[in-house]
Amino acid sequence: MKTITPLEAARRELLRRDQVRCGEGHRGSKETGYIDLTNSSFAAGGLSFPERWYRASWERWRTRREYRPSGAGDPETRQAVARYLEADGLPTGPDQILLTSGSSVSYSLIFRYLQENARPPGGSGSNGNSESTGSSRSSGRSGNRGHTVALPLPGYPLLEEVVTASGLTPLGYHLSPREGFSCLAPAIETVRRHAPLALVLVSPNNPTGAIYPPEELRELLRVCSDRGCTLLCDEVFSSFRPPGAALPRPAAFAGESELPLFTLNGLSKLCAAPEIKLGWIALHGDSPAVDRAREHLDTLHDTYLTVSGFAEAAGTLFLSPQAVPDREHLARTVRERRTLALDLLGSISPVWVPGEPAAGGGIHLPFRLEATFCAHRFGTLDDQDIALRFLKEGGIFLHPGYLYGLDRAVTDELDPWFVITCLNGDEALSRGLHRLERLLSGSGTT
């Protein structure tokens, strides 16, 4: 069981007090009360897909309530996913799609497939890959590739848990803030030195928002293919990117690799609909390799059949051309809130936001406070202790950077890091970040 940190305990207590006050009829002032600047709930931020799409999905499922079990998923829904991906710049056929109940299930299926198809790192296997000279970590299975999965750091904490739950070992590749969190050099070094079973690329990255240029992705795919390392590309935040900008994808170069490339996404972020539980895996690359992977994944998923009929009906409609204006409205609203949060952070003098955040995407924003400032203002460089001060003295909840791997081992600096999200409404974002500014200046609290 995970232990509850002092920061989380304080957050729960403050939330409980606010709820008690509301229950007693205290409306409170806009200058008081708890503000969660880490909110990752679209609903809590007043964001949702229009109700008519839910009603239409229910009606579609109710009138067609025929159970057709399939590991790959409903053909019409897979066609809708393929059509969406093609419109977004990634030509994909419905036979290249496998539906799941979300990204965690998608990852788990892929990891299981890779474990069952692991090959020795020193020579060609059944897929005909070129010889690799990368080292292997022992997996307890004679002759198999090391059972490690390379994950970006900083990165989403849940990924490590999914890897571990799959019986694999997470291995971080460090994205340096000094390099704008570029993935190319650290990812390639990790593939060459450790010969992982797979490497996960998240674009836009969570939490940095970094979007990687096509030339880097092409080189990374080449090295992964040469070393027999499968590339997984997580695009769950892909709709929250600069307007009019195409998303560079390694799948655009998948024809140059003998390994299948896996791209993950779902309705959770794309349509602010995590409760529907619909995700998908798109496979690209050499046709025989893709065919083998698809058949194997279909068989694995057929054991569980995690996708509901309603989710498939919703996927067909939520991803339809008729729903494009609503998807674009959601993406535009999130981008506007992200821009507001960036502007507000940029106006706070001790705060430094790395890289080129305006060119990035996603819903998270990391920032750094100078070590000398923190030592003088708070008497500590510990990000969790400082976040606890923010909560107790200002009623604002921020994530300490260590939760995402933004610690000294990754950043190579003493400056503490913090992470916020931009899903709150404009008023809550403004109030929360103005409180942060006052706390940093020492001029007041709630």
Sequence-distant (6+) residues with CB within 8 A of 332 are 243
Same domain for 308 and 332: no
Confidence of residue 214 (pLDDT cuts 50, 70, 90): very high
The side-by-side arrangement of strands in the sheet containing 399-400 is 351-352, 364-369, 417-421, 399-400
Tokens 């957050």 correspond to what residue? 11
Same domain for 350 and 314: no
Same domain for 254 and 118: yes
CATH assignment of the domain containing 395: 3.90.1150.10
8 Å CB contact between 191 and 229:
yes
Same domain for 263 and 151: yes
The answer to whether position 33 is within a domain reads: yes
CA 99 to chain centre: 18
Same domain for 315 and 333: no
Of 294, 319, 344, the position where a domain reaches its end is: 319
3-class SS letters over the chain = CCCCCHHHHHHHHHHHHHHHHHHCCCCCCCCCCCEECCCCCCCCCCCCCCHHHHHHHHHHHHHCCCCCCCCCCCHHHHHHHHHHHHHCCCCCCHHHEEEECCHHHHHHHHHHHHHHCCCCCCCCCCCCCCCCCCCCCCCCCCCCCCCEEEEEECCCHHHHHHHHHCCCEEEEEECCHHHCCCCHHHHHHHHHHHCCCEEEEECCCCCCCCCCCHHHHHHHHHHHHHCCCEEEEECCCCCCCCCCCCCCCHHHHHHHCCCCEEEEEEHHHHCCCHHHCCEEEEEECCHHHHHHHHHHHHHHHHCCCCCCHHHHHHHHHHCCHHHHHHHHHHHHHHHHHHHHHHHHHHCCCCEECCCCHHHCCCCEEEEEECHHHHHHHHCCCCHHHHHHHHHHHHCEECEEHHHHCCCHHHHCCCCCEEEEECCCCHHHHHHHHHHHHHHHHCCCCC
The answer to whether position 58 is within a domain reads: no
The answer to whether position 128 is within a domain reads: yes
Mean pLDDT for the stretch of residues 395-410: 95
Range of the domain at 286: 68-319
pLDDT computed for residue 146 by the predictor: 67
pLDDT computed for residue 22 by the predictor: 63
The answer to whether position 63 is within a domain reads: no
pLDDT computed for residue 7 by the predictor: 87
- Taking the CA of residue 215 as centre, how many other CA atoms within 13 Å lie in the half-sphere pointing to its CB? 0
The answer to whether position 358 is within a domain reads: yes
Return d(Cα 200, Cα 50) in angstroms, integer: 33
The answer to whether position 201 is within a domain reads: yes
CA angle 417-421-422, nearest 5°? Answer: 135
pLDDT computed for residue 166 by the predictor: 97
Confidence of residue 119 (pLDDT cuts 50, 70, 90): low
Mean pLDDT for the stretch of residues 106-112: 98
CA angle 106-37-427, nearest 5°? Answer: 120
**Mean pLDDT score of the chain, rounded to an integer?**
90
Of 270, 288, 319, the position where a domain reaches its end is: 319
Question: pTM here?
Answer: 0.89
Confidence of residue 130 (pLDDT cuts 50, 70, 90): very low
Higher pLDDT, 416 or 21: 416
pLDDT computed for residue 298 by the predictor: 98
Same domain for 335 and 293: no
Residues 230-246 have pLDDT tens digits of 999 999 999 999 998 89
The answer to whether position 93 is within a domain reads: yes
Residues 283-331 have pLDDT tens digits of 999 889 999 999 999 999 999 999 999 999 999 999 999 999 999 999 9
Same domain for 301 and 212: yes
Of 274, 291, 319, the position where a domain reaches its end is: 319
pLDDT computed for residue 144 by the predictor: 45
pLDDT-above-90 percentage for the chain: 80
The answer to whether position 89 is within a domain reads: yes
CA nearest to 232, candidates 192, 193, 203: 203
Same domain for 312 and 344: no
Structural domain count of the chain: 2
Mean pLDDT for the stretch of residues 409-414: 92
Same domain for 298 and 416: no
Is the per-residue pLDDT at 175 higher than 50? Answer: yes
- Provide the residue type at 400 as one letter: P
Same domain for 341 and 256: no
CATH assignment of the domain containing 264: 3.40.640.10
Same domain for 376 and 330: yes
Same domain for 264 and 191: yes
Is the per-residue pLDDT at 398 higher than 50? Answer: yes
